[in-house]
Amino acid sequence: MEYQHTPVLLKEVLAILQPHKGQRFIDATLGSGGYTMALAKAVGPTGLIVSFDLDPLAITNAHHQLSQKNINNVLLINDNFANLSQDLKERGIDSQFNGLVLDLGLSSAQLADTDRGFSFTQDGPLDMAFGPGSPYLTSEIVNHWTESELRRIIRDYGEEPWAGPLAKAIAKYRRRQPITRTQELVAIVEQVLPPSYVARSRHHPATKLFQALRIATNQELENLDSVLNQSLSLLCPHGRIVAVTFHSLEDRLVKHFFLRESKDCLCPPEFPVCRCGHHAQLKIVYRHPLKASEAEKAGNPRARSAKLRAASKL
Ligand SMILES: C[S@@+](CC[C@H](N)C(=O)[O-])C[C@H]1O[C@@H](n2cnc3c(N)ncnc32)[C@H](O)[C@@H]1O
């Protein structure tokens, strides 16, 4: 069965990228193909869309959609977007793109697949890898990383104030038996977090722990940093980069990257003359991130935390 999925902020992404016939775009996060299909239609048979996903299922589904719709201007690459420049070079594709879009995190299809272990509301194995290219499985992290490494990722990637007690409880549990299922982790969270803290939160109590483990499993922040840096040499003048993020760590990373690359000098203000020689390569499109409309949020829960930032190459 084909999974039904509504791409977040699609109208806004297209309004920023302004795809025209014959142009070339990169969709670094294919997912269910919503952005890719819309871009492919807009650039027509003389244009090109290169779409990446780590998940082989996303690639297989997209192949199916493309052949059903007789679309021939999309190149699908089953790899980490951190390898983007290398993958393009190996295929002899030169680096002048009109835009690159990132829609980060996991797809609705991945969340719905209980065998992937992304969901804290359903039981499943502790996997959480976007694809076979991911460096770890979550089960390796929870069973083999030290208590202090666990505390660090839960605090830094989950922004969970109860990181210390949670890491301690995980370390204690696994001394008796390995942790293999999502619901074992949920039970640990429910034992550790005080009811008053849980009652004040708008989210499921395991949200922050699962976010932390997913980010660590897939090295999400390192990959994002890498693709942002690569984007600078892939875009043609006035080419645009659009990033849709779903938590504050990703949003902060994108915001700081855009700020840094839109400045001519990065020296401390007390330096009388510039010593760094840095030159601006980007112009920020919106000072504040765009958010989904109330109507989109009402129809698509994933849109509620989405933030879109965009910049254009000078
Ligand atoms: C939110 S979905 C994208 C949805 C898509 N915009 C659409 O219209 O259907 C994110 C996708 O990015 C993929 N992904 C996440 N990190 C990745 C990475 N580092 N390299 C390649 N794909 C990645 C995930 O596997 C997932 O399929």
Do 201 and 249 fall into the same domain? Answer: no
pLDDT confidence bin for 55, thresholds 50/70/90? very high
pLDDT at 240: 98
Give CA 245 to chain center in angstroms.
6
CATH number of the domain residue 252 falls in:
3.40.50.150
Asked whether residue 116 is domain-assigned, the answer is no
Do 178 and 244 fall into the same domain? Answer: no
Q: pLDDT digit string (tens) for 144-163?
A: 999 999 999 999 999 999 99
Pocket test for ligand 1, best of 74, 130, 245 (most atoms within 8 A of CB): 130
pTM of the model: 0.96
Do 105 and 248 fall into the same domain? Answer: yes
pLDDT confidence bin for 95, thresholds 50/70/90? confident
pLDDT at 67: 97
Q: Could you tell me the residue range of the domain that residue 28 belongs to?
A: 10-109+220-313
Residue with CA at minimum distance from ligand 1 atom 8: 34
Residue 246 Cβ < 6 Å to ligand 1: no
pLDDT at 136: 85
pLDDT at 5: 66
Res 180 pLDDT > 50: yes
What is the tally of structural domains in the chain? 2
Asked whether residue 126 is domain-assigned, the answer is no
Give residue 135 CA to ligand 1 midpoint distance, Å: 16
pLDDT at 4: 46
Between CA 126 and CA 84 the distance in angstroms is 28
Q: pLDDT digit string (tens) for 65-92?
A: 999 999 999 999 999 999 999 999 999 9
CATH number of the domain residue 150 falls in:
1.10.150.170
Mean pLDDT of 126-133: 91
Neighbours of 112 (CB within 10 A): 14
Question: Where does a domain end: 197, 218, 239?
Answer: 218
Give residue 31 CA to ligand 1 midpoint distance, Å: 5
Res 2 pLDDT > 50: no
Residue with CA at minimum distance from ligand 1 atom 27: 31
Between CA 181 and CA 124 the distance in angstroms is 5
